């Protein structure tokens, strides 16, 4: 597959022919103010001239554009096919790495909950044994106070450190937050998007008769040119 430079050369030659003497007309159009019948007619002449030039550009560059575009599409297709194979597997690996990381964190969290629950249970048992000793010694008030304190102020050891991330060269795990809609009707209005396409369709169909709350319908006049 090749992309001959001749296509570019052809396009440049056709462009030069079409744009010959165009700068003068473009500059005139840029400065032209439509303030009377004469300037109105001149604007129409220039508009028709530009319409014919636009048509000439499209027709003149159609062949070289198609040739270069077809070549470009083939290159893009080749690029997409190659990249997609790597992207699919890369995405799968990234998801599995993320899942493994989440699994390690969940296992560590559960182990920490179990450790803290065990520590609390041990402390409570120790407090109860102490209370039983106090009660045997006849100090029921102190025993009850120990039981009350145990139910409210059991010291729990500080959280253990979470496991460090697995080390792998060039690899890291990022955390992002996603969402899913569970009830469209409950979503606040500020998160909704106005459907411009639907509104435009109604306005173009009904014109001045279009009635949509919160929407102003108005007309805009523009000139049209025949070639």
Residue 111 within a domain:
yes
pLDDT at 204: 96
E-strand stretches of the chain: none
Residues near 132 by Cβ (< 8 Å), separated by ≥ 6? 143
Q: Is 216 inside any structural domain? A: no
Domain assignment of residue 61, yes or no: yes
Q: Tell me: pLDDT of 156 over 70.
A: no
Say how far apart CA 122 and CA 98 lie, in whole Å. 36
pLDDT at 68: 85
Distance CA 96, CA 104 (A): 12
Residue 109 lies in a domain: yes
Q: Report percent pLDDT > 70 for the chain.
A: 90
* Dihedral over Cα of 22, 28, 31, 35: its sign: negative
Domain that holds residue 16: 5-209
pLDDT at 23 over 70: yes
Is residue 222 situated within a structural domain?
A: no
For 111, which DSSP code?
Answer: H
Is the model's pLDDT at 129 over the cut of 90?
Answer: no
The answer as to whether 122 is a domain residue is yes
Task: Give the span between the Cα atoms of 162 and 109, in whole angstroms.
Answer: 8
Residue 215 counted as domain residue:
no
Give a yes or no: residue 219 inside a domain.
no
Domain count, the chain: 1
User: How confident is the model over 215-224, as a mean pLDDT?
Assistant: 90
């Amino acid at each position: 597959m090749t992309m001959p430079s001749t296509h570019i050369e052809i396009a440049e030659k056709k462009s030069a022919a079409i744009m010959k003497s165009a700068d003068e007309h473009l500059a005139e159009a840029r400065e032209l103010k439509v303030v009377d019948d004469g300037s109105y007619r001149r604007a129409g002449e220039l508009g028709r001239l530009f319409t014919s030039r636009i048509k000439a550009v499209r027709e003149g560059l159609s062949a070289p554009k198609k040739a270069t575009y077809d070549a470009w599409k083939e290159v893009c297709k080749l690029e997409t096919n190659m990249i997609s194979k790597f992207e699919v597997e890369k995405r799968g690996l990234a998801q599995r790495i993320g899942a493994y990381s989440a699994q390690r964190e969940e296992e560590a969290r559960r182990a920490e909950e179990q450790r803290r629950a065990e520590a609390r249970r041990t402390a409570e048992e120790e407090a109860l044994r102490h209370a039983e000793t106090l009660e045997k010694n006849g100090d029921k008030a102190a025993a009850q106070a120990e039981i009350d304190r145990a139910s409210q102020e059991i010291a729990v050891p500080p959280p253990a450190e979470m496991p460090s991330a697995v080390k792998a060269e060039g690899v890291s795990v990022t955390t992002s937050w996603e969402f899913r809609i569970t009830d469209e009707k409950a979503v606040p209005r500020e998160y909704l998007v106005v459907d411009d396409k639907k509104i435009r369709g109604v306005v173009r169909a009904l014109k001045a008769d279009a009635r949509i709350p919160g929407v102003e319908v108005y007309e805009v006049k523009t000139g049209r040119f025949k070639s």
